[in-house]
């Protein structure tokens, strides 16, 4: 029996659903029940009727699934699948920051720990950050965390007064406008898509054509008739783009844009997770209850 067949059998036996982020290894994406961005996967986690959720992604995504679905078993097949951006702010640091801005609305990116979510008024993802901030009453001051590049992008589009936490994703932040310009010289006329966590998405906006979440990029890929498209995000996304549209060449701004956390999980880990019931993600109800309010508001919007 192949690993994929074993996983399919175990999923049925355990009534499990396999969710995979767009950056996961190709072979993981290929056997997942749902593949998508953070918002899409949160919605799937919130509505599944399966008893077990296996999250092929990173820890904050599995925690989000557990918060939204406290009675289900949520498994993260490798506990090393963290997120450097989520680690860039702690709940204690956020409490201190809130103390300096009493009354401000706290908007946290979904790439945060459950404890940070519990201290937040709103949660957003790269798909809906502009919409979430634009919906906050105009007179309210806003604290946005932890990604400064996404925050700067949202601030520019909404024109809102926002304080930004100085955090970033090391994988995306290192992509600079110069890298985009160099790629453009090699592929003149190719549209450039960038994730809002990228260093290149803000410092020189004209450098890129579209700032999109990973699902936004996949939708663009599906409908484009451009012969070549340049992509500034984690290279795992290229698998899906190429599958969705084999007529276009999808090229990374840099082949080295690889998130080690998103590559931690392989098929053996997923098989073992289902067979050995590991690694269960738990969030204490005192934390989960407070985080849930902000998350449910986002899911419903
Ligand atoms: P998306 O929600 O756009 O998939 O982004 C998640 C992420 O971790 C980007 O680095
Ligand atoms: Fe976190 Fe960056 Fe990896 Fe996304 S790409 S999971 S933000 S470290």
Q: Among 152, 168, 184, which residue terminates a domain? A: 168
**Atom number, ligand 2, closest to the C-alpha of residue 23:** 5
Q: How far is the CA of 12 from the centre of ligand 2 (A)?
A: 31
**Does the CB atom of residue 128 touch ligand 1 within 6 A?**
no
Residue 203 has pLDDT above 90, yes or no: no
128, part of any domain: yes
Same domain, 78 and 118: no
Residue 201: pLDDT over 90:
no
- Cβ partners under 8 Å of residue 61, min gap 6: 19, 21, 38, 41, 42, 55, 110
Tell me: pLDDT of 162 over 70.
yes
> Is residue 96 domain-shared with residue 162, that is, in the same domain?
yes
Same domain for 42 and 103, yes or no, is: no
Contacts 24+ apart (CB under 8 A), 278-282: 278/75, 278/77, 279/75, 279/76, 279/77, 279/78, 279/79, 280/73, 280/74, 280/75, 281/55, 281/59, 281/62, 281/63, 281/65, 281/66, 281/74, 281/75, 281/76, 282/66
In this structure, the answer to whether residues 202 and 272 fall within a common structural domain is no
Pocket mutation for ligand 2, best pick of 56, 81, 85 (most atoms within 8 Å of C-beta): 85
The CA distances from residue 124 to 110, 118, 144, 185, 272, in Å, are: 6, 14, 10, 35, 32
Q: Of the candidates 111, 141, 168, which is a domain's last residue?
A: 168
pLDDT of residue 51: 98
Mean pLDDT over residues 271-277, rounded? 98
Ligand 2 centroid vs 218 CA: distance in angstroms? Answer: 18
Residue 294 within any structural domain of the chain: no
The pLDDT of residue 64 is above 80: yes
Kindly state whether residues 90 and 164 are assigned to the same domain.
Answer: yes
d(CA 221, CA 70): 35
Residue 114 lies in a domain: yes
Question: 213 CA distance to ligand 1 centroid (A)?
Answer: 6
pLDDT at 127: 94
Whole-number Å distance, alpha carbon 1 to ligand 1 midpoint, is 34
Give the pLDDT band of residue 299 (cuts 50, 70, 90).
confident
Q: Which CATH number characterizes residue 161's domain? A: 3.40.50.10800
Residues 72, 90 within the same domain: no
Q: 106-151 pLDDT, tens per residue? A: 999 999 999 999 999 999 999 999 999 999 999 999 999 999 999 9
User: Which residue lies with its CA nearest to atom 3 of ligand 1?
Assistant: 213
Query: What's the confidence (pLDDT) of residue 209?
Result: 87
Q: What is the pLDDT of residue 272?
A: 98
**292: in domain:** no
**Atom 8 in ligand 1: which residue has the minimum CA distance?**
111
Look at residues 111, 120, 5, 119 and name the one whose alpha carbon lies nearest to residue 58. Answer: 111
| Protein residue whose Cα sits closest to atom 3 of ligand 2 | 259
Please check the confidence at residue 213 and state whether its pLDDT lies above 60: yes
Q: What is the mean pLDDT of the chain?
A: 95
What span, in angstroms and rounded, lies between the C-alpha atoms of 296 and 299? 5
On whether the CB atoms of residues 231 and 184 are closer than 8 A, the answer is: no
Does residue 199 sit in the same domain as residue 129? no
Q: Residue 222's pLDDT band (boundaries 50, 70, 90)?
A: very high
Protein residue with least CA distance to atom 2, ligand 2: 169
Same domain for 137 and 96: yes
pLDDT level of residue 207 (50, 70, 90 thresholds): low
For 247, the domain range is 171-252
Confidence (pTM): 0.96
In 3D space, the residue among 85, 138, 139, 130 whose CA is nearest the CA of residue 107 turns out to be 130
Same domain, 199 and 149: no
Domain boundary among 126, 141, 168: 168
Which pLDDT tens digit goes with each residue over 6-30? 999 999 999 999 999 999 999 999 9
Mean pLDDT of 254-280: 97
Q: What is the pLDDT of residues 69-100, one digit of tens each?
A: 999 999 999 999 999 999 999 999 999 999 99
Select from 57, 59, 197, 264 the residue to mutate for testing ligand 1; criterion: most ligand atoms less than 8 Å from CB. Answer: 197
Is residue 158 located within the same domain as residue 179? no
Share of the chain above pLDDT 70, in %: 98
130 shares its domain with 111: yes
If you ran DSSP here, which 8-state letter would residue 187 be given?
S
For the cut 80, the answer to whether the pLDDT of residue 174 exceeds it is yes
Count of domains observed in the chain: 3
Q: Is the CB of 168 under 6 A from ligand 1?
A: no
Report the distance separating Cα 84 and Cα 69, nearest Å: 25
Model pLDDT, residue 297: 87
**For a pocket test of ligand 2, which of 82, 171, 233, 235 has the largest count of ligand atoms closer than 8 A to its C-beta?**
171
Q: With bands split at pLDDT 50, 70 and 90, how would you rate the model's confidence at 176?
A: confident
Residue bearing the bigger pLDDT, 296 or 2: 2
Structural domain includes residue 291: no
Regarding whether 149 and 215 lie in a shared domain, the answer is: no
Residue 21 lies in a domain: yes
pLDDT band at 208 (very low <50, low <70, confident <90, very high): confident
Kindly state whether residue 63 falls inside one of the protein's structural domains: yes
pLDDT above 90 for 105: yes
Question: Does the structure show a pLDDT above 70 at 242?
Answer: yes
**Is residue 202 in some structural domain?**
yes
């Amino acid at each position: 029996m192949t690993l994929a067949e074993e996983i399919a059998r175990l999923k049925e036996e355990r009534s499990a659903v396999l969710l995979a982020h767009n950056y996961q290894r190709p072979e993981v994406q290929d056997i997942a029940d749902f593949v998508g961005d953070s918002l899409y996967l949160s919605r799937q986690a919130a509505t599944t009727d399966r008893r077990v959720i296996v999250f092929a992604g990173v820890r904050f995504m599995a925690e989000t699934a557990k918060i939204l679905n406290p009675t289900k078993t949520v498994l993260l097949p490798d506990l090393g699948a963290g997120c450097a951006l989520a680690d860039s702010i702690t709940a204690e640091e956020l409490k201190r920051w809130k103390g300096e801005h009493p009354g401000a609305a706290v908007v946290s990116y979904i790439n945060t720990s459950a404890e940070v979510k519990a201290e937040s008024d709103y949660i957003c993802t790269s798909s809906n950050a502009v919409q979430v901030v634009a919906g906050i009453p105009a007179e309210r001051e806003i604290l946005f965390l932890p990604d400064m590049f996404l925050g700067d992008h949202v601030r520019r589009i909404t024109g809102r007064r926002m304080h930004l936490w100085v955090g970033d994703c090391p994988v995306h932040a290192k992509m600079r406008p110069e890298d985009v310009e160099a790629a453009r010289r090699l592929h003149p006329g190719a549209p450039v898509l960038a994730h809002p966590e990228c260093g290149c998405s803000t410092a020189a906006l004209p450098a890129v054509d579209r700032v999109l979440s990973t699902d936004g990029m996949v939708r663009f890929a599906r409908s484009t008739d451009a012969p070549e498209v340049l992509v500034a995000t984690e290279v795992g996304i290229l698998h899906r783009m190429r599958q969705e549209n084999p007529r276009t060449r999808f090229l990374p701004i840099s082949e080295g844009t690889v998130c080690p956390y998103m590559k931690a999980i392989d098929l053996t880990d997923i098989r073992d997770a289902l067979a050995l019931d590991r690694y269960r993600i738990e969030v204490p109800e005192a934390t989960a209850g407070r985080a849930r309010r902000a998350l449910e508001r986002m899911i419903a919007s």
